[in-house]
Amino acid sequence: MLDDRKLAVLRAIVADYVSTHEPVGSKAIVERHRLGVSAATVRNEMAALEDEGYIAQPHTSAGRIPTDLGYRMFVDKLNALKPMSGAEQRAIAQAREALRQLRLCLTSQCPRCTRLS
């Protein structure tokens, strides 16, 4: 089983790799994710994650990428969804209403623009 620090490093690797499509290095993790540890500590955790099959190094001196096992761990344990806040729910409801109003406006204007009415 992975400890909290290894899980945090794995979460950072998956998140960065998905967003950049580039192998992720220890320095990038320290700079972007503020885990409160040094790059050397992150490298040690990455080595352990690699030994356990959660990440891989595509070539020498590259960062790491998640393996299928790493993605599975991310989906199962790390990417917990949190309920939407009231403000988030209201923002979505307002956006839906704005889109509904736009659709109504467009459907009433299109026949006039194309002289089909």
Cα 27 from Cα 64, distance rounded (Å): 12
Res. 74: pLDDT tops 70: yes
Q: What is the pLDDT of residues 28-58, one digit of tens each?
A: 999 999 899 999 999 999 999 999 999 999 8
Output phi, psi for 107, to 5 deg.
Answer: -70, -25
The strand pair at 65-66 and 55-56 is best described as antiparallel
70 falls in which pLDDT band (50, 70, 90)? very high
Nearest to 30 by CA among 1, 8, 49, 47: 8
115 falls in which pLDDT band (50, 70, 90)? low
Three-state helix/strand/coil letters over 35-53: CCCCHHHHHHHHHHHHHCC
Length of the chain: 117
State which CATH number among 3.65.10.10, 3.40.630.10, 1.10.10.10, 3.40.640.10 fits the domain covering 4-78: 1.10.10.10
Cα 57 from Cα 81, distance rounded (Å): 29
Query: What pLDDT does residue 80 have?
Result: 63
Kindly report the pTM of this predicted structure.
Answer: 0.67
* Domain regions of the chain by residue span: 4-78, 84-117
